[in-house]
Chain A
């Protein structure tokens, strides 16, 4: 199957450039981590080396892309971005509200919203799964395994 072009951009070059930027950032930050003057035990030594290795790999990735001459799409064709965005947003809201309203109060609406998002429309099933799973997990973790749940 042929790879689709995406505006003539080879995404692997962009990926390589992205990793190169991260590598340079790691190198710069690590270079400053030498509070004792000697590099042999300096906290920045190993991150510095890993930053250089990442930079070499990133440049190699760019070279590989240039040499291959095939323009690859981003690999995100046929992705339902709306669903991804909503599920990530729901998860972040869950993280934000969990300490405030507690495990049971946030898990039931979270599960119900996720089920709705994925197309489950039978309200009784929505109720059974979201309430049943939440209470089951609360019992398993909170009671049996003594994990503190907010």
Chain B
């Protein structure tokens, strides 16, 4: 396999991946410019190129674009991509403490580790993982999404109930527009513009970007500087300490990435939640600038790349939005992704792996070399930075569909996000709800429809082993947030440790 990967690499190939990587760095770091959008534009630019050249460029954008979402997440609390939502939770608090440079370094190294892990898994486990994913029924997909939503409840700082309300509202918002199964308009109230639904990117920019601007503008005294770059050096040993957590998160990322329709946001949030549960003594508490939070989020969302490519290459089922675009690019080039790809054009698999590996090395080069230069934006006074970010939010919302209506949506969600933040409701669960809502709706209704043919609706829907495992996970996730369960577990463990001391 190594020989076949090396055979795909030459100077031109490396150059094209690096050009794509640089574009990915800029696009991913700018709120509103999505990697999906950039890849889609590249399909139209590269369709006359050779397949290898086109894949080199697009994989460069994909790999580094996912990483660079962390840059704006860390520096200005606006995730460059939905997959970086969990990175804001600790990344921005680190910036506020003057540790932006350290946060960027950690994000760079663990994005590299995550990407490489995902690609190794792609190379080794493509077929076995796909077999498991193939066994997922519509109900399992629904339960998986529900599990994702319940985990974000625990990500909200204090009140689990408020987190669940935020997630539920997000799901309801995602249902606005034409119903994908029956084609019936829902909650559009006669508006033609609402029939296409609420633009996810516009809502994301509003909830994270514009609401942050409003929060800052609303402060009676504007602090001169949002945060400090800091000069704190991170040693090799200090960085490598988090490798076990990174691998744990990368496993989650690869697996979630391999499940079609889920992708980076779910993977990073689940990995973050797991990190909260497994890391007993973080350097500082999660949500207040814990390095472990960035390690978990960035390892998982980058590992998703390898994971998402598994079903795309072996089944022609995209794992996320970018792989959906890559899939269409393959069709444009006359290729047939799926089981036939390995027999008809086996070299392409190694070309993609080679581009991914060079892309992951570009993360290190660009993350260490260029990202700190971007970090200088935190030194700009707020009274100058905020209006510039505001116009970036506006143009970012507009650029998705060249729609003025999307700017309006962004501004309204900005106001909603501002009120939510002020009232102690985290906006992250709402975003995840908007992302997963339509997936949950379609799969739930398919599951009900399939089960209604059986004798017992409930047994037909929930009796499969995968469904039962997922239900157990959901219940654990829900109950572990109840006060009496938390107190009980704490008492149980303190009782044990007391006994241990006595012995």
Chain A contact residues, CB within 8 Å of chain B: 11, 15, 19, 22, 26, 29, 33, 35-36, 39-47, 49-51, 53-54, 57-58, 60-61, 64, 74-76, 78-81, 83-84, 87-88, 91-92, 94-95, 98-99, 103, 107, 110-111, 114-115, 117-120, 125, 129, 133-134, 137, 141, 145-150
- Give the residue of B169, B171, B387, B411 whose beta carbon is less than 8 angstroms from that of A115: B387
Interface centre among B164, B172, B424 (most CB of A within 10 A): B172
Residues of B near A51 (CB, < 8 A) are: 172
Q: Measured between C-beta atoms, what is the minimum distance from A81 to chain B in Å?
A: 7
17 A-B pairs, CB-CB below 8 angstroms? A15-B423, A35-B182, A40-B445, A41-B445, A43-B181, A44-B186, A47-B187, A79-B219, A83-B218, A88-B415, A118-B217, A118-B383, A119-B222, A119-B383, A145-B399, A148-B402, A149-B398
Most B-side CB within 10 Å, residue of A119, A147, A149: A147
- Chain B residue total in the interface (Cβ 8 A): 56
Note all chain A residues with C-beta closer than 8 A to B391.
107, 110-111, 133-134, 137
In the complex, A87 Cα to B384 Cα: how many Å? 14
- The answer for the CA separation of A88 and B418 in the assembled complex, in Å, is 11
**A47-B171 Cα distance, complex, nearest whole Å:** 9
Cβ-based interface call for B422 (8 A): yes
The smallest C-beta distance from B288 to any residue of chain A, in angstroms, reads 17
Main secondary structure of the interface of B (DSSP, over half): helix
Q: Does B449 contact A (CB under 8 A)?
A: yes
Tell me if A137 and B168 are in contact (CB < 8 A): no
Task: Tell me which residues from 371 to 417 in chain B have a Cβ below 8 Å from any Cβ of chain A.
Answer: 382-384, 386-388, 390-392, 394-395, 398-399, 402, 404, 407-408, 411, 414-415
Q: Is B41 an interface residue (CB 8 A)?
A: yes
Contact between B402 and A74 (Cβ–Cβ < 8 Å)?
no
**Closest chain A residue, CB of each to CB of B415:** A88
Q: Is the interface of A mostly helix, strand, loop or mixed?
A: helix
Rounded to whole Å, the gap between the CB of A21 and the closest CB of chain B is 13
Are A33 and B186 interface neighbours, CB within 8 A?
A: yes
B53 at the interface (CB under 8 A from A): no
Given known contacts A35-B184, A43-B181, A57-B164, A78 and B407 CB-to-CB distance under 8 angstroms: no
